[in-house]
Amino acid sequence: MTTIKSAVMSVISSDPTYSMIVSSGLCNYTSMAKRIQRTVEVMLGRQVNLNSITKALTQIRIEPRYVNIFGIVSQATLWAEYGLNELQCGLNDRLPEGSLLVVRRDGYYTCLCKTGEPGKIALIRIRTPKEASNTPGLSLFITEYLYLNGVEFSNIYRLGNEIWITSDSENAGRILSILSDMIYRSQH
């Protein structure tokens, strides 16, 4: 008979991102429990109380088997730019001056830039040490961490040793707060 604890352990250990988050001690156990509850219930063939999953999460110990993402995160710095606009232009058009981010889409470019008109988009940049540019799973870790903390954002881009996150300006402060807390907690 499979126990709740063994089912939770199986779900967590089979997902590298979940394993990293739980082994780091940076885990929001209630959010993680909500995220895996359905999978645990399917494994056990019955409904499982969220508090039981949360308790099981706090009791499991996972040895980190992956690259030391927390060492990288502990050295990260944050930067934010508010009031940006998103413009689209054709592939043969001139890109707007002052474009911070240009993404090629199917038949056009999307540009993130300041236009003189106050925009509603924020760009949050996480700068990591240079050696982090070859670390797999870093942006997936950040993405999952933000989702587990109930944060919504528009896009995430990995650019060498930087991760850029776009969001509406209203959510940017919360994203910065959560990321700042993550960096602080990874240092201690």
pLDDT tens digits, 76-125? 999 999 999 999 999 999 988 888 889 888 899 999 998 888 899 999 99
* 0.85 exceeded by pTM: no
pLDDT per position as a tens digit, 13-29: 888 778 878 877 778 89
Same-domain status, 106 and 130: yes
Same-domain status, 42 and 133: no
Exposure string for 49-68, b = 16+ CB within 10 A, e = fewer: eeebbbebbeeeeeeeeebe
DSSP label at residue 134: G
Same-domain status, 110 and 157: yes
Domain of 118, CATH number, reads 3.30.2130.10
Same-domain status, 106 and 53: no
Identify residue 21 by its one-letter amino acid code: I
Same-domain status, 96 and 182: yes
